[in-house]
Amino acid sequence: MTEHDAAGVVGGGLLSVMTRWERFIVPSCKLCATGYCRNARVTSSIKRQCGDCTLCCKVMAIEALSKPVNVWCAHCRPGRGWAIYAERPPECESFSCLWLVNDLLDEQWKPSRSKLVLTTSEDGLEVRCDPGFPNAWRKHPYAAEIREWAVAGETNDMTVVVIVGQRMILVTPDREFDLGIVGPDERILRKLDGTKVVGATAAEETDLGRT
Ligand code: SF4
Ligand code: SF4
């Protein structure tokens, strides 16, 4: 599941390479420090249901169906559920967004309401916007909470990335790094000063070994 992970020192700053497009939650991620961890599935006091939400069937890529990101799955009936629930691919069956499993996220974060699907990657938290609502993450109360996670993440080396279409934005406590469209073969390269992110860019994975 982990596609790439590396770090090196260039120009006096620590460069950290992030994984990207992580489809599933990685058990060894750093989110346990913040409470936004998949293991909340085990400890969660609530049993949520997707109900009328089907947003992950739009924003996530489904390899088994060759479904790209940000188009509705052909088997989805938006707002009503799935036509092939019993036969859905294993990657759909095992998927849970964070709202579904983590009671730290209240009802406002339900994806059908927030227009945001939260998942984790090895590096941290990913916030995927419904492309029909590209500014959803900037609205109240989401923007402030996303920034709070970035603050908590800085000391834990946990990243917060907002994904709007194929555009990725790395959110830090005091900045946003708009990385533009990050291709499937690219990785996010962060420049760190201590724990503070002072630069970020996307680079071809094949070029990273030459850094
Ligand atoms: S985004 Fe979350 S709540 Fe919505 S359908 Fe997917 S798993 Fe269920
Ligand atoms: S197969 Fe079912 S669960 Fe998976 S994306 Fe399509 S509609 Fe959603």
- How confident is the model over 53-108, as pLDDT tens digits? 999 999 999 888 899 999 999 888 877 666 666 778 888 888 889 898 887 888 99
- How confident is the model over 23-51, as pLDDT tens digits? 333 333 444 445 544 444 444 555 788 88
Mutate to test the pocket of ligand 1, among 52, 97, 118 (most ligand atoms within 8 A of CB): 97
User: What's the confidence (pLDDT) of residue 104?
Assistant: 80
Q: Whose CA is nearest to atom 8 of ligand 1?
A: 50
pLDDT band for position 123 (cuts 50, 70, 90): confident
Mutate to test the pocket of ligand 1, among 56, 82, 108 (most ligand atoms within 8 A of CB): 56
User: What's the confidence (pLDDT) of residue 161?
Assistant: 94
Q: How far does residue 161's CA lie from ligand 1's centre (Å)? A: 19
60 pocket-lining for ligand 2 (C-beta < 6 Å): no
Instruction: Supply the pTM of this predicted model.
Output: 0.81
Give the residue extent of every domain in the chain.
6-47+97-208
* Distance from C-alpha of 38 to C-alpha of 135, rounded to nearest angstrom: 26
Closest CA to 209 of 3, 21, 7, 22: 7
CA dihedral for 130, 116, 62, 160, sign (positive or negative): positive
